Structure 1
Amino acid sequence: MKPVLNVFKIGGGIIDHEPDLLEFLRRFAAIGGPKVLVHGGGKGASEMMKRLGMAPRLLQGRRITDAATLDIVTMFYAGKTNKHIVAALQRQGVNALGVSGADGNVIRARRRPVAEVDYGFVGDLDETSVDAALVGQFLELGLTPVFCPIVHDGQGQLLNTNADTVAASLAKALSHCHAVELHFCFEKKGVLADANNSQSVISKITVADYAELQAQGIIADGMLPKLDNAFEALGYGVEKVFIEHALHMAGDVKTELCLT
């Protein structure tokens, strides 16, 4: 039987609110067994860009990253945000290790080709991107890896990558040796049938349901890459995927994603 491994991803709505972030990290620290944390960037990078007279650009929840934007997101994601989370986990007794994709060559990406949209310095991942053996060595040493969404191409170029994609890629790669449960944690209780009703959580979504919810416009924008990555992870052997509130991880109200 494979050992259970939990992969958690937290997004900006939690990162931007310090009390919620610290409470999430307290709860994360209390989870037994090996675990991995992936974080997004929050609003810090976008707020800095605005102060510098730059306009943040996003398309369907994905950031368009030119050279100047890459500098700022690297400073915030791989620097300030990552190290703040690592330090907070150390306070909770978790021996956390902050990691970008370039560290140890642990996540190597390819720059997204220009098609209808030029996303700039954005990395795409595939089934060979993650060095699962190295992550496994971190875990065997009793370390808890904390990944930011900055990766590299192996040729000296850093790339920005959607944090949901990083979490799903780690979950897929680690599923060969672990029974992986993937948790997308944010400031809502799950996927909502009505964006204005926080109680309208959809408890289960299949692939067929997802197509229908997209067609109805119920799932759109930033939720699209999250669910795209979630279903892909299930197809690659990840055992369970949940979308849930970051402060109610053990609660019964959440969305579970299933292939059928």
Structure 2
Amino acid sequence: MEKLTIVKVGGNVINNPEALESFLTDFSALEGNKILVHGGGKRATQLAADLGLEATMINGRRVTDKTTLEIVTMVYAGLLNKNIAATLQAKGCNALGLSGADGNSIQAHKRKVVDVDYGFAGDVDGINAKNIATFIEGGMTPVFCAITHDGNGQLLNTNADTIASTIAVGMSELYEVSLIYTFEKNGVLTSVDDDDSVITAIDSEKYAELKENGIIADGMLPKMENCFNALSKGVKEVVIGNPTVVVNKEQLFTTLTL
């Protein structure tokens, strides 16, 4: 079975031109089959503020009304996605910028209202692994933004970590998949103020302990849930680290196992 590396880049890396440029240089040098998934929430929040719109966040998640959906689609699927694709092309990586609607790659549904109405937020149902594999086999590197669709013409705003995890699970039927989450930290930390306090290995038991002790909390919780979900459904390896981890395994980073 061929290997496939799926890398999710987010956090402050997306908003820092130098850091993003450096990451894309490393990603373009990564050998073999690969997919990039990117976020961009802070850039979307900034544009909304520039337009006089205040982002509404509940439990760390964005409420996506109609206007917000237009903004995140412009930022994620347009500005960021195409700039990333263009930069990768300049570095010799044949990038193909995609939303979930393109090639019917990622199907989702509008999140059901339970306690909170998140508007046009999408929860992923699945991916079209064969179509995505066709792009890869054609010598292209898919670059996915955090926009999906419901199959009925409605675009949806979807968590990029979840998209990366779901793509990894779906593609594991065709490839031996490694999933790498990159952000501005060196990995999962025991102290957010100490970048060297990396927990190098976390299994399910260790995760439960760290969560109970409040060491893993807030925004890291959904990321970790996505990681363990991927591992439980066939993904071979999950790593969390800073952007250079895609090419440099000599540094500190976190490896997750079941």
TM-score by length of 2: 0.96
Residue 63 of structure 1 and its aligned partner are, at CA, apart by 1.6
Larger displacement relative to structure 2 (201-210 or 245-254): 245-254
The amino acid across from 1:149 in the alignment is A
Residue 80 of structure 1 is matched in structure 2 by 79
Deviation digits for residues 151-185 of structure 1 (CA, Å, limit 9, x no counterpart): 00011110000000000010000001111000001
Report the CA distance between 1:211 and its aligned residue: 2.0
Distance 1:210 1:116 in 2: 27
Determine helix, strand or coil for the equivalent of 1:247. helix
Match of 1:197 in 2: 194
Residue identity matched to 1:255? T
Matches of 2:256 and 2:59, distance apart in 1: 20
Give 2:116's aligned residue.
Answer: 117
Q: Which runs of 4+ in 1 moved over 3 A?
A: none
- Structure 2 distance, partners of 1:212, 1:117, is 29
Q: Deviations over 1:117-171 (max 9, x none)?
A: 1111011113xx2000000000000000000010000111100000000000100
Indicate the SS of the match to 1:27: helix
| Offset, 1:203 | 0.5
Per-residue CA deviations over 1:193-239 (Å, capped at 9, x if unaligned) read 01111110001111122222222221122211111111000000000
Residue 49 of structure 1, CA deviation: 1.3
Partner of 2:216: 219
- Structure 2 match to 1:11: 10
- 2:45 aligned residue: 46
For the aligned residues, what is the CA RMSD? Answer: 1.1
Q: State the AA in 2 paired with 1:251.
A: K
* Contact residue 60 and residue 222 of structure 1 kept, 8 A: no
Alpha-carbon distance, 1:103 to partner: 0.8
User: Which residue of structure 1 lines up, in the alignment, with residue 225 of structure 2?
Assistant: 228
- SS, match of residue 109 in structure 1: strand
The one-letter code of the counterpart of 2:65 is D
* Long gaps (5+) in structure 1: none
After TM superposition, the score normalised by the length of structure 1 is: 0.96
Contact kept in structure 2, 1:180 and 1:240, CA below 8 Å = yes
Q: Is the 8 A contact 1:13 1:42 kept in 2?
A: no
Whichever residue aligns with residue 165 of structure 1, its letter is T
Q: Is the 8 A contact 1:5 1:181 kept in 2?
A: yes
Please list, as runs of the form range in 1=range in 2, the aligned pairs for 1:109-258 lying within 5 A after superposition: 109-126=108-125, 129-249=126-246, 250-252=248-250, 253-258=252-257
Pairs aligned (count):
256
- Give the stretch that moved more between structures: 53-62 or 212-221: 53-62
Deviation string, structure 1 residues 62-91 (Cα, Å, up to 9, x no partner): 222111111100000000000000000000
State the SS of the aligned residue for 1:184: strand
Shift of 1:248: 3.6
Are residue 103 (structure 1) and residue 97 (structure 2) matched?
A: no
Q: Aligned partners of 1:146, 1:223: CA distance in 2, in Å? A: 23
Secondary structure of 2:106's partner?
A: coil
Q: Give the counterpart letter for 2:83 in structure 1.
A: H
Aligned partner of residue 125 in structure 1, secondary structure:
strand
The structural deviation recorded for 1:247 is: 2.4
